[in-house]
Amino acid sequence: MSYTVAVIGATGNVGREMLNVLAERKFPVKEVYAVASRRSLGTEVSFGDKTLKCHDLENFDFSKCDFALMSAGGSVSKEWSPRIGATGCIVIDNSSAWRYDQGVPLIVPEVNGDVLAAYMAKNSRKNIIANPNCSTAQLMVALKPLHDENPIKRVVVSTYQSVSGAGKDAMDELWHQTKGMYVPGQEVQANKFTKQIAFNVIPHIDVFMEDGYTKEEWKMLAETKKILDPKIKLTATCVRVPVFVGHAEAVNIEFERPMTVAEARSILREAPGVMVVDKREDGGYVTPIDAAGEFATYISRIREDATIETGLNMWVVSDNLLKGAALNTVQIAELLVNQGLMEKAA
């Protein structure tokens, strides 16, 4: 079997990575279409050794597609995902538009991919599947195997999120702002971010909410409860850092009962999608530069929390454009294919 796939938002950071991941993982494609807004009509993007010209979203016929991988933003997804799903095409959406809809599954394949069978068996399904927030996705991959062995009660996470999570304009701002620090007359003011991002860190991602948390921090809480376990308590501080690609997270976990470092390492080494790199020596850990371009979620710095008997600390790093977005999207499509669930979509 082979499948027809449309990548919507194909000219953006994540859309281009979706095309790369489809090619690299040899997804069984019959045809791939690059789809974008009208202003990108005819723009060329790469798919393996092929070059695709972008089609206009407004005029594209999705009834000929099996999958629509959506990375065009929340407002576009709100309007178009139901329309595309109504044609019978399965939409896998990377925006926040559908994550909290009770009728739409929020999926990290290594964590809760088993819920897809029941969803695909429903006649009333919307044919929309949601991808979690990039910072949530890698955290779920790290927490799930530990939670299965020893239930997690509470998580405290501080994120160090790269600018690529805010799009190409954000990456350009970091690049030009950094250069401008050294070239008189070429200084670049903050535009995409609320403060200078070059040589700085900004404890503000997404909008502020009434309780003082940002929407990004709220997303991590809400998505963890939906994906992993509604009983887990989580608090987050999300920070933008002057890194181009790769999100890092300092994670403190409180379990129901004690867990040793050796036990945690052993569990994580056997977990799908996880690579443990945890040597207590110079360079014996993974940084965003190391993780860029890699499919795995890396875990380092595993150690006991001396302030509580049932606590562990760890450092979690992943390529946010891959596991946090494009890779997770393609893995969902792979899961639907490999479990024979696309037959139910026909």
Catalytic positions are 134, 247
Tokens of 179: 């250069």
* Sequence-ordered strand ranges (E) for 76-130: 90-93, 128-130
DSSP string, 240-268: E-S-SS-EEEEEEEEESS---HHHHHHHH
Q: How many CA atoms lie within 13 A of 204 on its CB side?
A: 12
Cα dist from 70 to 14, 28, 286, whole Å: 9, 18, 30
Question: What is the total residue count of the chain?
Answer: 346
Nearest to 295 by CA among 76, 174, 82, 138: 138
Nearest to 99 by CA among 7, 230, 219: 219
Q: What whole-number distance in Å separates Cα of residue 131 and Cα of residue 111?
A: 12
Q: What whole-number distance in Å separates Cα of residue 171 and Cα of residue 162?
A: 9
Tokens of 290: 């190391």
Taking the CA atoms of residue 165, residue 166, residue 172 and residue 176 in that order, the dihedral angle to the nearest 10 degrees is -100
The alpha carbon dihedral of 150, 153, 154, 155 has a sign of: positive
Which strand (E) or helix (H) includes residue 115? Answer: helix 115-120
